[in-house]
Amino acid sequence: MALHAATLYWLGFNPEDSAIDAATGNILLLLSSLIVSNTLRYYQPSKGKYFYIVSWCALLSAISVFLSRWLLLNYFNENTVYQAFFDKSLIIRFSVGFLLISGMGLISMLWYTQQEQKENERRKADAERLAREAELYNLRQQLQPHFLFNSLNSISALIGRRPDEARTMIYQLSDFLRGTLRKEENEFVSLEEELKHLQLYLDIERVRFGHRLNTEINKEESCDKLSLPAMILQPIVENAIKFGLYDTTGHVTITVSAVCVQNYLVLTVKNPYDADTARPKSGTGFGLTGIKRRLYLLFARTDLIETTGENDIFTTTVKIPQA
């Protein structure tokens, strides 16, 4: 508007007439631009249909010019010099108006397209997050029935022969499940809290296997506050017990260790096994496959769990990245 008024003043019109012309023409262009912008907010032309937008901008520019002509020539009805000048500048006014309205249309189209893309990406990210959380929840829920069925079978076997031990196991199972439910809302816990929960599980298993099951838990004190996914150790230790005790009749020692290595919490579970007889058992098979999948969903990495078997010792190593 200022440039428009300055140009008219430079061409010899007085400041008042220049300001009225500039204000009238540019206010109409502003309204036309707002119409285009608002239209593109709710309607985005498909690919190859941009001709309609260009035509719409040209039509609005023509309407703006002729509406401003009607208003200004009525106002300057006695100024023949101005009327002649206005008619000669129609093409220029139309061209400038078309460029301004088209420019606003282009900016609006880019802006709303970008906003729509951001909204689509946000919805996609939300959908992926919900799907990931649902799968994580499903993986965690697989653990509870699997362990619960084994514990209930053991309690059933103990009731007739050793009722006191069965009662003790029920109390321990109750504490274990109560702790599991409390962790349901927290995906990550400290190592100290995870080991306390693991101890409840081991107490239950000792009732099942008696003196045959021995465990050693070693950890660096500096690792106590490091975080890890809740209940990630229990299925690994369960896997160690399954392959360490089911195929043997003697004493078995399972070792759990936790150390800090750079930006990782490294968890290691070792158990003896017989390479000639150890084989996957039938059943739900949650085990290490579920842990690997859970780690991938949480960290998007497949190299965080490793298993090795040497000298009749099976070792499972899990690395938990620390922020």
- The domain locations on the chain are 2-121, 162-321
Q: What is the pLDDT of residues 256-270, one digit of tens each?
A: 999 998 889 999 999
User: Which range (72-76, 117-121, 177-181, 228-232) has the least confidence?
Assistant: 177-181
pLDDT-based confidence at residue 58 (cuts at 50, 70, 90): confident
CA angle 155, 161, 162 (to 5 degrees): 65
Q: What is the pTM of this model?
A: 0.56
Q: What is the pLDDT of residues 93-108, one digit of tens each?
A: 888 888 888 888 888 8
pLDDT at 186 over 50: no
Topology (CATH level 3) of domain 162-321: Heat Shock Protein 90 (3.30.565)
Residues 185 and 139: their CA atoms lie apart, in Å, by: 14
User: Which range (168-182, 215-229, 301-315) has the least confidence?
Assistant: 168-182
- Per-residue model confidence (pLDDT) at position 284: 38
- Per-residue model confidence (pLDDT) at position 144: 58
- Per-residue model confidence (pLDDT) at position 141: 58
Counting every residue written for the chain, the total comes to: 323
Helix H or strand E segment including 131? helix 90-161
Q: Is 48 exposed, middle or buried (0-12, 13-18, 19+ CB in 10 A)?
A: exposed
* Cβ neighbours of 309 (radius 10 Å): 12
User: Which range (32-36, 168-172, 244-248) has the least confidence?
Assistant: 244-248
Residues 228 and 7: their CA atoms lie apart, in Å, by: 70
Q: What is the pLDDT of residues 111-154, one digit of tens each?
A: 888 888 888 888 887 777 767 666 666 656 555 566 677 778 77
Helix, strand, coil shares, percent, the chain, to 5: 65, 15, 20
Q: 323 in helix, strand or coil?
A: coil
Q: 315 in helix, strand or coil?
A: strand
The CA–CA distances, whole Å, from 226 to 89, 220, 221, 230 equal 76, 11, 10, 12
Sheet of 252-261, strand order: 213-219, 252-261, 264-272, 313-321, 305-310
- What is the mean pLDDT of the segment spanning 222-232? 86
Residues 5 and 9: their CA atoms lie apart, in Å, by: 6
Instruction: Region of 251 please: left (phi>0), alpha (psi -120 to 50) or beta.
Output: beta
